[in-house]
Amino acid sequence: MDAEKALQDIGFSKNESKVYLNLLNLGPSQAGTIAEKSKVYRTNVYESLQRLIEKGLVSYIFKGHQKIFQAESPEKILGIIKEKEESFRDVLPQLTLNNKLSKIKEKVSIYEGGNGVKAIMWDILKEKEETNSFDEVVTFGVPKDMVLRVRPFIKQYHRRRIKLKLLQKHLYDENAQRRIAHLNRMPYTEAAYLPNAINSPATTVVYGDKVGFFLWSDPIMGILIESKRMADMYKRYFNILYSMAVRENPNMVLKNENILE
């Protein structure tokens, strides 16, 4: 590797590398001689010499009224590099910790009322449209009457979701078999139930790195948590439950209804 390039790779400026290397070859010299040999303007030579002096790589003496500069041994550069490495190692544990903490930071948002449910459902579509980082939404602990509570916007939600080819899996209570059969006739939609399941006071929805909870209290509460760790855990939990679920009652017959609701 070219020596000048090597010095620049470890932090020397272009002028510093030229001045230092030429001074090594020249031996003790005046600034004018260094400028002439290195083809660097004298003003820039003085600036570079000053920075090299501060680094301990150049020293000077006076001969009469003349200032004579001399390059120190290149081995000192290794000492400087080692010193910087040791300084960096001192802060490395804290930097590593900061990096780990930044990856597990969790954000929690709380919404009150029906608009909270709507906000989370719209966020599902927004995340899919903007990031396209997931292809599936899972929902469980869904009560039979959930659709009645969100009817003003559920049609729009499903239309946009299906247009985005976003699969949604639902796990309902057993008494919602009509709703389950209805959903199973929609594109990019699956629904099932757990026999003898107790009606859940909360619904969980998982998408991307987010977990949403709908608490069917009065008023309704919506909680949204951004956490990859939690999202992964709840997806695994859902998959276990879904593997034990019943798709639908084979004797269920639906009238001709608008399925996108």
Tell me the pLDDT tens digit for each residue of 189-246. 999 988 876 667 789 999 999 999 988 888 888 999 998 889 999 999 999 999 999 8
> Quick one: pLDDT at residue 88?
85
Q: Using the structure block, give the residue that is written with the tokens 């544990």.
A: 93
> Quick one: pLDDT at residue 259?
46
Please name the amino acid found at residue 253.
V
Span 55-60, mean pLDDT?
A: 90
Please name the amino acid found at residue 17.
S
Span 155-166, mean pLDDT?
A: 94
> Quick one: pLDDT at residue 1?
58
Q: Rounded to whole angstroms, what are the CA distances from 62 to 49, 70, 254?
A: 15, 11, 103
Q: Say which residue, 198 or 68, is predicted with more confidence.
A: 68
Q: Say which residue, 163 or 89, is predicted with more confidence.
A: 163
Q: Using the structure block, give the residue that is written with the tokens 């679920």.
A: 245
Q: In what order do the strands lie in the sheet with 221-226?
A: 107-112, 221-226, 210-215, 202-207, 136-142, 167-172, 189-193
Token pair, residue 243, equals 């593997």
**First-to-last C-alpha distance (Å) of the chain:** 69
Averaged pLDDT score across all residues of the chain: 85
CA separation for the pair 66, 104 (Å, rounded): 62
> Quick one: pLDDT at residue 128?
95
Q: Say which residue, 209 or 254, is predicted with more confidence.
A: 209
**This prediction's pTM:** 0.58
Span 10-32, mean pLDDT?
A: 90
Most confident of 79-88, 125-134, 140-149: 125-134
Taking the C-alpha atoms of 234, 235, 241 and 247 in order, what is their torsion angle to the nearest 10 degrees? 140
What is the set of domains in the chain, with CATH numbers? 3-72 (1.10.10.10), 76-103 (no CATH), 105-243 (3.30.870.10)
Q: Which of 144, 188, 149, 187 is CA-nearest to residue 166?
A: 188
Q: Give the sign of the dihedral formed by CA 94, CA 99, CA 100, CA 101.
A: positive
Query: Among 42-46, 97-101, 212-216, 224-228, where is mean pLDDT lowest?
Result: 97-101
> Quick one: pLDDT at residue 194?
85
Span 39-51, mean pLDDT?
A: 91
Span 104-114, mean pLDDT?
A: 77
Token pair, residue 48, equals 């570079």
Q: How confident is the model at residue 105 (pLDDT cuts 50, 70, 90)?
A: low
CA separation for the pair 168, 170 (Å, rounded): 7
Query: Among 26-35, 87-96, 138-147, 163-172, where is mean pLDDT lowest?
Result: 138-147
Q: How confident is the model at residue 261 (pLDDT cuts 50, 70, 90)?
A: very low
Q: Which of 170, 196, 197, 194 is CA-nearest to residue 184?
A: 170
